[in-house]
Amino acid sequence: MSHVTSNPCPQIWLIRHGETEWSKSGQHTGTTDIALTEQGRMQAATLAPLLATQTFDIVLTSPMQRAIDTCRLAGLGDQAEIEPELHEWNYGIYEGRKTADIRAEAPDWSVWTSPIPGGENAAQVGARAQALIDRLLSRKVNNIALFSHAHFLRALAAVWATGAPSLGAHLALDTAAISVLGFEREVRAIVRWNLQH
């Protein structure tokens, strides 16, 4: 898969949702529709001034309420469309569990390398991210904002840069952080990562 394009203009802004009780505790939150904490709502609102300095041609959000609320509190709710492919990794039997607890049963378990019964593996998430990237690039627009979740956004950035999701294991992403994907000359690049406001 080539990562060079003749039209190096779009920037894709990745915005992780604000804090939830499960993001705070380290529980894997995929299909559970959990709300933002008060701190998470404050985090989301602090994104508004920065995002207001940009003009977004497309604003897409995960269908999960924590992402939708972050988008709204960040000032882009009126422009947003729901994008089902932005949902978080499906953790299957590991939903709601912490990595340390899972490793008590499955030593060396990692979402990036281990099977996930009843859920998605890294290759499946990577394919979902690639399909979304292809659709976004076909739109011929300049600025895109995506409101989504930590593991999915990490996988998407990895696929953008390398074609494979595995780099995502090395990309820490905090709640309500902003990252930007774009181009260095004609090559896809991670332009900014894990910016806090």
Q: Which residue among the candidates 88, 95, 149, 151 is catalytic per the annotation?
A: 88
Sheet with 11-16, edge to edge strand ranges: 80-82, 58-61, 143-148, 11-16, 178-184, 187-195
Q: Which residue among the candidates 17, 28, 149, 151 is catalytic per the annotation?
A: 17
Tell me the C-alpha distance between 15 and 117, whole Å. 28
Name residues whose C-beta falls within 8 Å of residue 12's C-beta, 6 or more positions apart in sequence: 136, 144, 146, 160, 180, 181, 182
170 is catalytic: no
Angle at 123 between CA 58 and CA 177, to 5 degrees: 45
17 is catalytic: yes
Catalytic residues: 17, 88
